[in-house]
Amino acid sequence: MNALQPLFNAITVIFIAVTMFAAGLATTLPTLRAVFTDLPLLLLALLANLVVVPLLGWAIAALFVLPTAGFVALVLVASSPGGPFGAKLSMVQKGDVVAGTAMQVLLAAVASLTFGPMSSGILTTAEVGGGISLDVAALVRTVAILQLVPFAVGLVVRHCARPTALSWHPVAGVVSNVTFMMVLAGMLLGSWRDVVALLGSRTLLAGFLLSVVAFAVGTLLATGPPTRRTTMGGIAAVRNVGPPLAAVGIAFGDEQAVLGALAAVLTSGLAAALPIAAVLGRGRDGGTA
């Protein structure tokens, strides 16, 4: 993995940047304005994703007495809302796709600034591995540049040249999906011994439980009809892999044990959230486009 580390890092950067660029291409100012002006929904979603779920991640990691790598991975994932797959879950469950996509983008943008302080604060307070702490300034700067700048560029293109944005978006979406699979595969292959060691472990179970509980919290702390509430649940259940990967690179030197635990937590979380969305979708004729 060491020889391929520069390639893995480059693909990770491409994945994060292209994902947020694609989100900007698909987002209109009216949809963002609708989320910003719905204060009850906005405040509850921010509370659920930026405060409650990170604290739940900490509680679950402590409850399961996870090893250092698993503890760090779970806290990093829990502190990073706005995963792009959350918008896809809203489609799977035939939910409120417009509100879900807008909230996912908003959470990813806000979390680029809050992820560092939140995850660092939890890890420092928990004194994991002797008191791990993150370089918050470097992390905020890196994540903000990788997420906010590409999203802003995509948003400007959508606002100023809609036909161009519509033609570019499918390509950007494909690149995002392909690079996500490459990043996940790289994490699994590069840390396969650590991942195999985690099979049947508490780390996988903790990641699964975090996703289920986050789905419930996101649904409960939302307003509107059931389709919108469960859509917010799906958004909360799927976390953003970009900031945790940046944190592992900055603070842990791409340590394989942490990468392996991160891959395990992410995959077990998706394994929990996807069936819930599929079951919800079976009972609905259609969603809000």
Q: Secondary structure of 183-233 in the HEC alphabet?
A: HHHHHHHHCHHHHHHHCCCHHHHHHHHHHHHHHHHHHHCCCCCHHHHHHHH
- The verdict on residue 289 lying in a domain is no
Asked if pLDDT for residue 269 goes beyond 50, the answer is: yes
- The verdict on residue 287 lying in a domain is no
* Residue 289: pLDDT band with limits 50, 70, 90: very low
* Residue 160: pLDDT band with limits 50, 70, 90: very high
Could you tell me which residue, 114 or 35, shows the higher pLDDT? 114
Domain range for 138 is 5-282
- The verdict on residue 139 lying in a domain is yes
pLDDT (average), residues 160-182: 88
Rounded to whole angstroms, the Cα distance separating 246 from 104 reads: 19
Rounded to 10°, the helix 162-190/136-160 angle is: 150
pLDDT in tens, 111-147: 888 998 899 899 989 887 655 666 667 777 777 787 7
Q: Give the total number of structural domains in the chain.
A: 1
Spell out the residues 6+ positions from residue 169 whose beta carbon is closer than 8 angstroms to its own.
Answer: 22, 25, 26
Whats the size of the chain, residue-wise? 289
The answer to whether 94 and 281 are in contact (CB under 8 A) is yes
Q: Give the mean pLDDT of the chain.
A: 83
Asked if pLDDT for residue 286 goes beyond 60, the answer is: no
pLDDT (average), residues 9-13: 79
Task: State residue 108's pLDDT score.
Answer: 84
| Predicted TM-score (pTM) of this structure | 0.79
Task: State residue 228's pLDDT score.
Answer: 92
Rounded to whole angstroms, the Cα distance separating 131 from 75 reads: 14
- The verdict on residue 219 lying in a domain is yes
- The verdict on residue 86 lying in a domain is yes
Asked if pLDDT for residue 280 goes beyond 60, the answer is: yes
Asked if pLDDT for residue 56 goes beyond 60, the answer is: yes
The answer to whether 58 and 126 are in contact (CB under 8 A) is yes
Rounded to whole angstroms, the Cα distance separating 192 from 267 reads: 13
- The verdict on residue 288 lying in a domain is no
pLDDT in tens, 66-88: 988 899 999 999 999 988 778 77
Asked if pLDDT for residue 288 goes beyond 70, the answer is: no
Asked if pLDDT for residue 94 goes beyond 80, the answer is: yes
Apex 283 CA angle, 278 and 288, nearest 5: 85
By the 10 Å C-beta count (0-12 exposed, 13-18 middle, 19+ buried), 148 is classed as: middle
The answer to whether 115 and 248 are in contact (CB under 8 A) is no
- The verdict on residue 214 lying in a domain is yes
Spell out the residues 6+ positions from residue 54 whose beta carbon is closer than 8 angstroms to its own.
Answer: 75, 78, 79, 118, 119, 122
Asked if pLDDT for residue 265 goes beyond 80, the answer is: yes
Least confident span in 91-95, 144-148, 230-234: 144-148
Task: State residue 235's pLDDT score.
Answer: 93
Task: State residue 230's pLDDT score.
Answer: 94
Task: State residue 287's pLDDT score.
Answer: 47
Could you tell me which residue, 11 or 44, shows the higher pLDDT? 44
* Residue 2: pLDDT band with limits 50, 70, 90: low
Spell out the residues 6+ positions from residue 85 whose beta carbon is closer than 8 angstroms to its own.
Answer: 238, 270
- Can you say whether the dihedral through the CA atoms of 16, 17, 18, 20 is positive or negative? positive
The answer to whether 66 and 202 are in contact (CB under 8 A) is yes
Residue 208 sits in a domain whose CATH number is 1.20.1530.20
Residue 95 three-state SS: coil
- The verdict on residue 257 lying in a domain is yes
Task: State residue 279's pLDDT score.
Answer: 92
Q: Which residues pair with 287 in a beta bridge?
A: none
